[in-house]
Structure formats: C-alpha cells, structure tokens
A and B are shown apart, each in its own frame.
Chain A
C-alpha cells in the first residue's frame, strides 16, 4: 500500500514536485508515466526513504517514510533507475550481501530462487562487471525481489532488456502485482497499457491524469476521427467534404489521404461516402483512427497544456 498526500520536493530553489497526491492499493500495478524530469525518480526516492520530501506525507506499507524510515525500507523493494551494482563482485555474493543486510533466513537458498525468477541462475558465479546491461538490470530486479517485499518500486524496469526478456519481466511484474503493490515508472506507453491497472501521468511535478489505461483512452477521445483515401487525383475533393455538415477539422495528410473528425452523435460517414462517389472519385478507404496512448501522452504533457480539464470542458460545451 502506498499513500501519498500533497508531496512537494524542492531542489534548491527549483520545485521538482508540486503537491503530489495519489494512492496505490495492494494487488495493484500502478504505472508512473511522464517525460524526463517530470519528477518520477524524485517521487520514488522519497517513497523508498532515500531522501525526505520538503513537505507532505507519504505512507508506504503502513509506515511513514520520514519518521519510520527503517520499517519502510524493510518492506520495500527498490530498483533504482541507474541500477547501481558493485561491478567487482560475483553475482551470488552481491545478492547474498544484500540478503544479509535484510537479515533473511536461508539467504543462500533465497538468492538461488530469486536468480531463477529473473532467469540468471547460470550467471550466479560470474562477475557483475562482465554482464550485459540487460543482465545487470535483472540483477537489480533480483535485489529488489530478494525479501519478497510488500511494496515494489521499480524505476524503468524493462530498459535495456531484449524483447524476449521484456515479455518475461513484464509477466513477472504482473504476477507479483497480483498480491503486492507495484509502482513502476516507464517511458513506454504500451508497457503501461499492458501491465498497469492504473496509470498516473505526471508532468513537471504534477499529476496530470490518473486512470486505467482503457478509460484514459476513451475519456480523451471526445470525437471520432476518420482517415479516407481516394483513388487517383484528390484535387478539389477537400472543399466538397469540408462543406458537409458535421465534418470538422479536415486536413490533408502528406501521403495524399484526408483526415477529419466528427461527433459520435452525428455520423457523417455515409454522407461523406455518397458525396465522394457522386463527385466521381473512387473511394478506396475510410477507416476510424483512435487516439493512441502516445498521442494522449503528448497531448497532456505538451508545453503549457493546462491539464485534462480542458478536454472535459470541450466535451461539456459540445
């Protein structure tokens, strides 16, 4: 369980977090999405008691991150963004060291099991310095999983992994997320879509949106968009369609196709199709395009974009 209330963090005179408030329940995988410098790592460092917030409160696994930091640290598994490791240590010894710091009974066995979970058992006796980035990433993950923590905080867990490993690790995170609380940050939106129960989009130290990936998508798409393509020369077609009632924001794409929007209540597609055919053009394609999570993300984190409320207002107005 993670509960964060009005969290702020200042680095000198620069404010990195502006009153962050959110919650992550047990059995939930929450994704932290945002551009570089949005405050993801800062938030995670506060939640793992690495550094204290300037103001606000954060409770992890039932303990306050500032006043009960040792209790928090006992219950949290953390994979830092840079995956710091002792490169001159043997994989097994390193994990054994971390296990000993956590006072795990049967540390040897536990290390073995965890290495198997991340698929690195065959590298147990190799030096960390000789491992590839993807393997180091998995060792970092193993370190975070060693004590089977109540709360798992992962800063970009799949970066540097090859596609096969990405699938495995995502599956592993999903499995863990069934019983525990997982907070992970990512740049990759499809990843958030795949493994997160809930997504928090954060920009410039503020939470811009909080929702399930599915809701997010439908919530933002107030209008429907259509791409259409005609055979041969499309000259002169655009003005005809533009004049039709209900067609909004018509634009020509560089590939020769046209794109427009309409409101769901007012389906103009039959009319558009008829108009095209009657004007003597060959209608080759007319397909709807949904706003991808990528576009939502860009839309929301755009410079000076005043949050989702605008979208809501637009909806209300129409």
Chain B
C-alpha cells in the first residue's frame, strides 16, 4: 500500500514538470470553457423567446468524456513505457516493490492528475446552479461526476496496461488511443446490424454505460462494467511487467 502511494505521488509530481500534462489540462479546460459559454448563450437566447428548458451540464460532461478519449493516452503513454526505455525499470524491479504495486501506483498517479482536472471543472455546475432557478438537479450532477471518474479510471487503466507492453511512448499512445476509440465509439455499432449477439456488443459499448450513469441512474451492470475494465487494464499491466522479467 505504502509503495503504491510513493509511486503515485512521484507520478503526480512529475505531471507538473512535464509539458504534456499542462497541454492536456489546458486543452480540456479551454474546450469545456468554450462549450460552457455556448451552452449559456444558447439557453439565454432561447429563454428570450420564451422557449427552451433550463440549461444542464450534460453537454459539459459528454464533451469531457470525448476529450478524455483523446487525452488520456497522452497521460498514460510514458508511465511504464518510459521506465522500460530508460532502463529505470531495472531499478524499480530490484527494489522491494511488487509488480502490481508499481502498476497500480502509476495508475493512481494518473488518476490523481485527472481528478485535479475534474475538480477544476466543478466550477461550471456551480456557476450554472447560480444561474438557474431553483438550481440544477443535484442527483444527476452527482452521478454525472461519478460517471466521469469511472470513465477516467477505466481509460487510465487501459492506458497503463498498454504502456507496460511498450518501450516506445508513441507506440503506446496510438495503441491506447485506438483501443479507447474502439471501446467508446465502435463497440456499439455492430449491435444494430448483427442478427445474433447484439446484446453482447451493446454490453461492451462504453458510451452506453456512461450515458446510463449521466442520466441519473446507477445500475450495478454499469458499475461492474467499469470496474471490470479497470481490473483488466491493471492486470494486463502487472502481467506485462512480470513477463518482462522472464524475457
């Protein structure tokens, strides 16, 4: 446990000296800021003509998930691939640290960074809450942020697992991105076209689980889906580090 924290802390600190993390955080916050401004503007226009409902944060949350598909690979690509490349893996594997502690620590480091960014975006619902009467739906807000955190955790876990397989950051980046794009967008497509097994594809589709949560309902299946994804990613990472020893 202590080792996980030590490694996570180092990774978290490291994000703040690397330009990639700033670029990722800046891009996410800038795009979300623009979207938020547009949301406010369009709803105010509509209300001028006496129509439309109250603005909600759905657009922000959805865009955030979309941005994470593109940005989490940048956050995870170097986590283990760089240790492999620089040879510092030898250092970590000859220290009394378990493979799983190393991988979970790396994941947690990325998680803390994403949580920091997520925390900053809380400013939008707070502003929105003050704009609309009688305030926004607290329940939906809560499940939406839970959905964001789960998506981030799952994406980072997949990224860490893939990073462990490579010693080249760029390779890790693209493979992670392709995997996330597949999980988020492509997985659901076959469901509409295949005769058998449509259920399977619907279950594997990350987006549908995400929108279930953001709509305010917490289902066990959605939670199980995300936790399984996290477990698979971290397990892959641990196995990849472990097999590196045996080569």
Binding site for B on A (CB under 8 A): 45, 48-52, 70, 73-74, 76, 78, 80, 82, 84-89, 93, 97-98, 100-103, 143
A88 x B94 contact (CB < 8 A): no
Among A48, A50, A85, max chain B CB count under 10 A is at: A50
Inter-chain contacts of B10 with A (CB < 8 A): 97
A101 x B6 contact (CB < 8 A): yes
B2 x A103 contact (CB < 8 A): yes
Asked if A76 meets B94 with Cβ closer than 8 Å, knowing A84-B86, A84-B88, A101-B6, the reply is yes
Interface residues in B, total, Cβ within 8 A: 25
Asked if A85 meets B94 with Cβ closer than 8 Å, knowing A52-B245, A97-B6, A97-B10, the reply is no
Q: A84-B86, A98-B91 given. 15 additional CB < 8 A pairs? A: A45-B90, A49-B93, A50-B245, A51-B246, A52-B245, A78-B94, A80-B87, A86-B86, A87-B86, A88-B14, A88-B18, A89-B14, A93-B13, A100-B2, A101-B92
Does B95 touch A at the CB level, under 8 Å? yes
Does B134 touch A at the CB level, under 8 Å? no
B246 x A52 contact (CB < 8 A): yes
Binding site for A on B (CB under 8 A): 2-3, 6-7, 10, 13-14, 17-18, 86-98, 245-247
25 contacting pairs across A/B (C-beta < 8 A): A49-B94, A50-B93, A50-B94, A51-B245, A51-B246, A51-B247, A70-B98, A73-B96, A74-B96, A80-B91, A82-B87, A84-B86, A84-B87, A84-B90, A86-B88, A88-B17, A93-B13, A97-B10, A98-B91, A98-B95, A100-B2, A101-B3, A101-B96, A102-B95, A143-B91
Inter-chain contacts of A51 with B (CB < 8 A): 245-247
Among B89, B90, B92, B245, max chain A CB count under 10 A is at: B90
Inter-chain contacts of A85 with B (CB < 8 A): 88, 91
**In the complex, number of A-B residue pairs with CB atoms less than 8 Å apart:** 61
A76 to B2, alpha carbons, bound, how many Å?
Answer: 20
Nearest Cβ on chain A to B197's Cβ, whole angstroms: 41
A45 to B247, alpha carbons, bound, how many Å?
Answer: 12
Nearest Cβ on chain B to A81's Cβ, whole angstroms: 9
Inter-chain contacts of A50 with B (CB < 8 A): 90, 93-94, 245
A74 to B94, alpha carbons, bound, how many Å?
Answer: 9
Asked if A73 meets B95 with Cβ closer than 8 Å, knowing A51-B246, A100-B6, A101-B3, the reply is yes
* Residue of A with least CB distance to B101: A101
A73 to B2, alpha carbons, bound, how many Å?
Answer: 16
Nearest Cβ on chain A to B216's Cβ, whole angstroms: 42
Inter-chain contacts of B92 with A (CB < 8 A): 101
A235 to B10, alpha carbons, bound, how many Å?
Answer: 75
B14 x A48 contact (CB < 8 A): no
Inter-chain contacts of B246 with A (CB < 8 A): 51-52
Nearest Cβ on chain A to B83's Cβ, whole angstroms: 9
A89 to B11, alpha carbons, bound, how many Å?
Answer: 11
A102 to B94, alpha carbons, bound, how many Å?
Answer: 11
Question: A-B pairs with the 3 shortest C-beta distances?
Answer: A84-B87, A84-B88, A100-B6
